[in-house]
């Protein structure tokens, strides 16, 4: 697990294929309370980066053959594609 600590050091964001496809997950800094944030089946989500205030996570994903950057709340919800 290649994880990235949140700015306050309390949580870790990481990419994992434990659900069958690469998705973005978060957990407490001790590895407990693992939660899958994304469900972009087959999009190969990865490279999570926390926002400075720790409320959102940016990540890359390949949706329909196109690589894009997305933002998702650290509390879950729907990811939002960043437009260039």
Give the CA dihedral 73, 21, 64, 40, nearest 10 degrees.
-30
Count of Cβ atoms closer than 10 Å to residue 64 Cβ: 7
- pTM recorded for the entire structure: 0.89
Strand order in the sheet with 35-36: 3-5, 11-16, 23-28, 35-36
CA atoms of 9 and 79, how far apart (whole Å)? 23
Is the pLDDT confidence value at 1 over 60? no
Whether the per-residue pLDDT at 84 is higher than 90: the answer is no
pLDDT digit string (tens) for 11-62?
A: 999 999 998 989 999 999 999 999 999 998 878 899 999 999 999 999 999 8
**Domain definitions of the chain by residue range:** 3-81
């Amino acid at each position: 697990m290649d994880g990235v600590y949140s700015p306050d050091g309390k949580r870790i964001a990481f990419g994992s294929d434990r659900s069958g496809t690469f998705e973005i997950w978060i957990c407490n800094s001790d590895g407990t309370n693992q939660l899958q944030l994304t469900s972009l089946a087959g999009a190969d989500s990865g490279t999570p980066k926390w926002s400075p205030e720790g409320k959102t996570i940016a990540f890359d994903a390949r949706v329909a053959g196109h690589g894009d950057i997305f933002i998702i709340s650290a509390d879950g919800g729907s990811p939002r594609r960043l437009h260039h």
